[in-house]
Amino acid sequence: MKLIIENDAGTAATAAAQLIAEEIGTHDTPVLGLATGRTMEGIYARLAQAHEQGTLDFSCVTSFNLDEYVGLSAEDPRSYHYYMQDHLFRFVNIDLHRTHLPDGAATDLDAECAAYEAQIARSGGIDLQLLGIGDTGHIGFNEPPSSFDTRTRCVELDEATREQNAAMFGGDPNAVPHEALTMGVGTILDARRLLLVATGPAKAGIVAKALEGPITPEVSASAIRLHKNYVIILDEASAAELSPATLAHAQRNA
């Protein structure tokens, strides 16, 4: 594991964007796994800025997002399709035909999930998968318990997750869809490299659990410790509950 601790959320986003830009630069046809959520907004803003400054080219990038709410169309402002347009795709020269998210409005959700897995395989697999972490310890929408061999599928969202994501739904957890399509933990572990980013004091407890607690389907983020090539970028606030032993191995960029 490579653990990087930055001063604050801003410098953590800069470090993450830099790592993603480097990854793009090392492949002729990079395949990125993308994530959503507030943590990613600063990262996408920096990638967009690098593109505007002429230092980052997305023309050969293929992307696969982790997840989408069931029942929301791509045009729905609360959907992750919309989020990706709004925060990244419209600012960069990515070919929209090469961007993929599971279709939460599909009539046959199982077929949609199987097709998504097949598309990832056809693209040659994901070079770098970007991950956030939810309050339940989920990566993507892999709520507890999610066994480590799960593939893209329809899951029921925990109440805690609907509460965490309620802001986009007028603050009402009940207005948040009860189901989502998500890459499985197994799908995520198949990526050649993982990058998990967490910032802010609210993430400190779950970050410590994921990095130091048991590796268990009860905390799907703990699965990343089974991967042979993963990087974790935190800020000081989200690293606050890590043990001295873990912190001793961290690269600190304060």
159 is catalytic: no
Instruction: Please give the C-alpha separations between residue 22 and each of 16, 30, 49, 126, in angstroms, as whole numbers.
Output: 10, 11, 15, 15
Q: Please tell me whether residue 174 adopts helix, strand or coil conformation.
A: helix
Active-site choice (6, 23, 51, 67)? 67
143 is catalytic: yes
Q: Residue 141 Cβ, how far from ligand GLP at the closest point, in Å?
A: 5
Q: Residue 59 Cβ, how far from ligand GLP at the closest point, in Å?
A: 26
Q: Residue 84 Cβ, how far from ligand GLP at the closest point, in Å?
A: 12
67 is catalytic: yes
Among 67, 68, 127, 143, binds ligand GLP (CB under 6 A): 67
Q: Is 99 in the site for ligand GLP (CB under 6 A)?
A: no
Q: Residue 136 Cβ, how far from ligand GLP at the closest point, in Å?
A: 9
When the beta carbons of 57 and 186 are compared against ligand GLP, the nearer one is 186
When the beta carbons of 102 and 134 are compared against ligand GLP, the nearer one is 134
When the beta carbons of 44 and 58 are compared against ligand GLP, the nearer one is 44
Q: Please tell me whether residue 81 adopts helix, strand or coil conformation.
A: helix
Q: How far apart are CA 140 and CA 67, in angstroms?
A: 6
Nearest to 222, CA basis, from 250, 188, 181: 188
Among 129, 161, 187, 222, binds ligand GLP (CB under 6 A): 161
Q: Which helix (H) or strand (E) holds 194?
A: strand 194-198
- Strand segments, DSSP code E, in the chain are 2-6, 31-34, 62-65, 67-69, 99-100, 128-131, 153-156, 179-182, 194-198, 230-235, 251-253
Q: Is 78 in the site for ligand GLP (CB under 6 A)?
A: no
Q: Is 134 in the site for ligand GLP (CB under 6 A)?
A: yes
User: Phi first, then psi: what are they for 99, rounded to 5°?
Assistant: -100, 140
User: Phi first, then psi: what are they for 196, rounded to 5°?
Assistant: -100, 130
Residue 31 C-beta-side C-alpha neighbours within 13 Å: 15
Residue range at the interface with ligand GLP (CB under 6 A); choices 14-22, 84-92, 109-117, 130-138: 130-138
Among 11, 165, 187, 238, binds ligand GLP (CB under 6 A): 165
Among 132, 146, 152, 155, binds ligand GLP (CB under 6 A): 132
Q: Is 221 in the site for ligand GLP (CB under 6 A)?
A: no
Q: Which two tokens stand for residue 43?
A: 């990262």
φ/ψ region of 71 (left if φ > 0, alpha if ψ in -120 to 50, else beta) reads left
Active-site choice (23, 68, 103, 143)? 143
Q: Please tell me whether residue 76 adopts helix, strand or coil conformation.
A: coil
Binding site for ligand GLP (CB under 6 A): 35-39, 66-67, 132-134, 140-141, 161, 165
Active site residues: 67, 138, 143
